Structure 1
Amino acid sequence: MNSWTHHLVIAPILIPLVASAVLLFVDERRRTTKAMISLAATVILAFVAFLLFRIESGPNDFEGVYLLGNWAAPFGIVLVLDGLSALMLLLTALLAVPALVFSMARWHAVGAHFHSMFQLLLMGVNGAFLTGDLFNLFVFFEVMLAASYGLLLHGSGPLRVKAGMHYIAVNLVAALLFLIGVSLIYGTAGTLNMADLAARIPDIEPDRRMLMEAGAGILGIVFLIKAGMWPLCFWLPPAYSAASAPVAGIFAIMSKLGIYAILRLTMLLFGEGPSAGFGNIVLLYGGMATIIFGTIGVLASQALGRLAGFSVLVSSGTLLMVLGINDGAISSGGLLYLVSSTLSISAFFMLIELVERGQDAGANVLAVTMEAYGDAEEDEPEEADGVAMPGTMAILGVCFAACAILLSGLPPLSGFVAKFAMLSAMMGTGAIGVPPTAAIWTLITLVILSGVAALISMTRAGIRTFWSSIEGTVPRVLVIEIVPVMFLLLLTLGLTVQAGPAMQYMDSTIRTLRKPSVYIDAVSKAVRIPDYKASGAGSETGSH
């Protein structure tokens, strides 16, 4: 337990914290220096996240509980690394590196302290994935949100400021609810350590348990706001579509942070005992409503940014629905879908800026008008037999097609594999082995229809952008802008090729989550490192 690998658990928090502090002392005019420092820290963070993922998934007895200040739980602060947190850390790092590289083309220079806020965002997200108590979950949430306020407003502009003000107001209300929920839980259970709380819940008196569940419900509203469940999601599409491309790319992980918190707490606190299944009905029907709302939004969206924003809601609704079903086989497919959809949406947000550079602001509206009323020049004969597509447009078109395939869940990419895993489990051909009920058939229908809606919308947008572009101009795209998009899409291809090992990891992670005693025992039995001075004093006394 004293090996150097054990101390890697705190590295995903310390690396961005130190980097953000160092960047504050570098003059804003030294953009290249700041970018290199930030990129180096992010690449190191990605390496550490990958190393933790390999250690956690490997056949070893690595102890993933880290006692800060060497204080034992539940009195001290603990960080806990398990299969789920290791997966989310790696996913965050895999999004952060491409988003940061993309920003270095121009976005990092259009405002002050971009890199410091970016690193603080990573610190907050990583800390939320690792923390083992509710209060520090609130602290890391606030660090993440404070950084996200600045990043969302980065670049200025009236639309961005308007969406940013709404985003800030909603999240300030969520922060207040977070404190109220945490206070109720602490007042009834007497602890905020997650493992200790899970151990105490079965022994709480029924009247006090109702108050504790009320606090958990308020806390759940906070996570559902962040996840974007209907009707708490109206802020999300405008905010995400107004953000700059690299910011929207890293924001793709933030809605999944709400999903992570719900999955972690429902499995740990309400997986067994008298409160088992608490909130599952809300997640199930809320997820269904979110899919419906997001699907309608996807079909109605003319701007690509809005389409991507509503795609986030479809993804969140699908995952909330999976959590509401609370079945192991379906949850494993849902975890794979979480990874695939997050990578796809992040790539799509960054691709949108590159695609829209060749269009005027009113191009989408004009395209709809021409589609409805026809083009006055459509009957004129063409002067050429054909027009060759420029190389830039060809690359953008291939990336756009890949995003369309991933978001709609068509084969052969990872979006199809994840949806197939979920749907096969729902229909009884997977691990659950029971015939589907009417409710399950409804869920299956919604998942399929949301994919069809995504295919229709992406095909419509692709035709307008690449085949019948009004302007006919080729956007200027830098290598450091298209490579991050291609990198994320290649990750989804790798996830498809390695679908077997990936599903085994997801199955193992879900099985562990469904056994709260594993988490409780790991935290409660974590051993403090012996005090050096005390051991030295004891040896000297013994020698006399």
Structure 2
Amino acid sequence: MMGLAEHLIIIPILLPLISGAVMLLLDERRRALKGGIGIATTVVLLIVSIILLGMADASPADTPASFLRVYWLGNWPPPFGIVLVLDRLSALMLTLTSVLGIASLVYSLARWHRAGPRFHTLFQLQLMGLNGAFLTGDLFNLFVFFEVMLAASYGLLLHGAGTLRVRAGLAYIAINLTASLLFLIGASLAYGVTGTLNMADLARRIPALASGDAALLATAAAILGTAFLMKAGIWPLNFWLPTTYAAASAPAAAMFAIMSKLGVYVILRIWTLMFSTDAGLLAGFGGDWLLLAGMLTILFGTVGVLASQSIPRLAGCSVLVSSGTLIGALGTGSAAVIGPALFYLVSSTLAIAAFFLLVELVERMRDPGADVLAVTMEAYGDDDDFIEEEVGVAIPATIALLGGSFIACALLLAGLPPLSGFIAKFGMMAAMLKSDETIRASTWVLIALLTLSGLATLIAMTRTGITSFWARIDDSVPRVGIIEMAPVLALLLLCLCLSVGGGPAMHYMQATTQALWSPQSYVTGVLPAHEAGAPGEERSP
């Protein structure tokens, strides 16, 4: 029998589903009521996520099996029944999703939720898809929640209409349909080889595979990995991401920041669970390719950051740098690097979401012809029309607040002290250099790319900040509502708290990593005792 607390695991899926269904029945003109229901739902989701985070972290780090919370839907045991699994990693992602959900939804109440129909329903369905993907314990239901999330994201991307969004939406839909097709092919091939799609059962069966079946499963894993790397925005499958994210509305783009991390999450989950050192012939499969793909993505994103001529595209390229950093860290195959990488995941996601929300507010200061005129003045000067310098002019509070937030985003994304971005990058580099073995050349290249990407981000953000705040041609002060500025400040405040509380946060990340590097604990925690057995052991009838 399960206690009431155990049933909380399914709340992050059921609550947004019910909320979205209820709002679908309401007249579209009752936006205030829908907004109230949406805010109440996301607040409850955050509370539940924090409780689940505490449940996942209730056990000591040296007993990773005991912190698993497994929920059998319909009380059917795995591997045949649908199962939800709560551990430190999934609880962390649930909490991060809830935080971004509240920030984006509050921001949208200023005007974006009125820009098109069914915004609140689509928003709740996206939350449901994300939460389900983080909690599910089998590949089939991962595909189901993956599709729910994508279907909602299609509507959110097109929300507000416009030629740019429609054009970006067509490319986005096409690339994600391709990813879904690859997902189906890879999952079908994996099921044909192993006879199961339960992740724990897959990890149990992989070590016993013969060489021929192992080759087929490696092919399935490569196809699945391609699908999720497309979602994470890894080169060369990321050509769609900067344009798509730049075209989306501010609240939608802020939520898309966590969607790209879903691909990273799945790669991390599958790679550490199914291709660990206990995986026999497939131990460590694909690690070098992940490292190479991550480094190329960092390089591509760095070039994109430097080449960006608009702030939204700069934010989109920053997503590529973030995803490449995480995949590259995973590709090192070092548990010591993954802890700081998870810290970086949280910090960069919060910073990028805040930046996407801030972009629209900063863009309100820009005159439609300001970009062309600024480039012309920079190239040819402006000697004919000398403007006398004003001394002692007070900076309006709105401009000061926007400028301070922009500087905070620049420090976080560039990885400069004293904020959490620096702590994360320094932790990853320190872990790479502390290896007992000879440091590989690829490790030095990754460290160089992490440094170069930070420098490029600093240059690009400084250039953009000067153009937007210092050398503005139009001296008008934009109208910014409290309801728009509050989510940006809240996300940046969370990054500051992450910096101040870096010790406990890093301890949590390291405990999470230790659990990920103990796949047998996951297997025994999810499967019934008579099903789990030892790695490679035949299952009883």
TM-score, shorter chain, exceeding 0.5 = yes
Contact 2:68 2:85 in 1 (8 A): no
* 1: CA distance, partners of 2:55 / 2:388: 65
Alignment of 1:98-497 (within 5 A): 98-272=103-277, 273=279, 274-377=281-384, 379-382=386-389, 384-428=390-434, 432-497=435-500
Contact 1:427 1:435 in 2 (8 A): no
* 2: CA distance, partners of 1:46 / 1:385: 48
* 2: CA distance, partners of 1:422 / 1:450: 14
Secondary structure, counterpart of 1:66 in structure 2: strand
* 1: CA distance, partners of 2:220 / 2:95: 31
RMSD: 1.4
Partner in structure 2 of residue 514 of structure 1: 517
1:399 partner amino acid: S
Partner in structure 1 of residue 20 of structure 2: 20
Partner in structure 1 of residue 34 of structure 2: 34
Secondary structure, counterpart of 1:340 in structure 2: helix
Shift of 1:89: 0.4
Secondary structure, counterpart of 1:370 in structure 2: helix
- The question of 1:523 aligning with 2:536 is answered no
Contact 1:6 1:63 in 2 (8 A): no
Partner in structure 2 of residue 11 of structure 1: 11
* 1: CA distance, partners of 2:185 / 2:458: 42
1:325 partner amino acid: T
* 2: CA distance, partners of 1:221 / 1:336: 25
Tell me the alpha carbon deviations over residues 330-381 of structure 1, each in whole angstroms, 9 at most, x when there is no partner. Answer: 1111010000000000000000000111212332232222212212456443
Tell me the alpha carbon deviations over residues 182-205 of structure 1, each in whole angstroms, 9 at most, x when there is no partner. Answer: 110000110000000110111111
Match of 2:506 among 503, 507, 530: 503
In structure 2, the CA distance between the partners of 1:465 and 1:494, relative to structure 1 (3 Å rule), is: same
* 2: CA distance, partners of 1:360 / 1:380: 18
Tell me the alpha carbon deviations over residues 111-150 of structure 1, each in whole angstroms, 9 at most, x when there is no partner. Answer: 0000000000000000000000000000000000000000
In structure 2, the CA distance between the partners of 1:63 and 1:320, relative to structure 1 (3 Å rule), is: closer
* 2: CA distance, partners of 1:437 / 1:101: 47
1:172 partner amino acid: L
In structure 2, the CA distance between the partners of 1:403 and 1:523, relative to structure 1 (3 Å rule), is: same
Partner in structure 2 of residue 539 of structure 1: none
Partner in structure 2 of residue 537 of structure 1: none
2:240 partner amino acid: W
Shift of 1:472: 1.5
Match of 1:85 among 90, 112, 119: 90
Shift of 1:63: 5.0
Contact 1:20 1:116 in 2 (8 A): yes
For structure 1, the residue ranges without an aligned partner over 5 or more in a row are 529-544
Contact 2:370 2:473 in 1 (8 A): yes
* 2: CA distance, partners of 1:313 / 1:378: 41
Shift of 1:426: 1.2
Secondary structure, counterpart of 1:450 in structure 2: helix
- Name which of structure 1's ranges 205-214 and 32-41 shifts more when overlaid on structure 2: 205-214
Shift of 1:236: 0.2
* 2: CA distance, partners of 1:69 / 1:59: 27
* 1: CA distance, partners of 2:385 / 2:405: 29
| Identity across the alignment (%) | 59
- Name which of structure 1's ranges 363-372 and 253-262 shifts more when overlaid on structure 2: 363-372
* 2: CA distance, partners of 1:4 / 1:370: 66
1:260 partner amino acid: Y
- Name which of structure 1's ranges 440-449 and 384-393 shifts more when overlaid on structure 2: 384-393
* 1: CA distance, partners of 2:86 / 2:56: 8
Q: How many residues align?
A: 524
Secondary structure, counterpart of 1:255 in structure 2: helix
Partner in structure 2 of residue 531 of structure 1: none
Secondary structure, counterpart of 2:183 in structure 1: helix
Secondary structure, counterpart of 2:282 in structure 1: coil
* 2: CA distance, partners of 1:128 / 1:378: 58
* 1: CA distance, partners of 2:70 / 2:514: 19
Secondary structure, counterpart of 1:210 in structure 2: helix
* 2: CA distance, partners of 1:53 / 1:424: 28
Contact 1:359 1:473 in 2 (8 A): no
Contact 1:65 1:526 in 2 (8 A): no
Partner in structure 2 of residue 55 of structure 1: 55
* 1: CA distance, partners of 2:339 / 2:251: 29
Secondary structure, counterpart of 2:26 in structure 1: coil
* 2: CA distance, partners of 1:98 / 1:364: 30
Secondary structure, counterpart of 1:239 in structure 2: helix
Contact 1:249 1:350 in 2 (8 A): yes
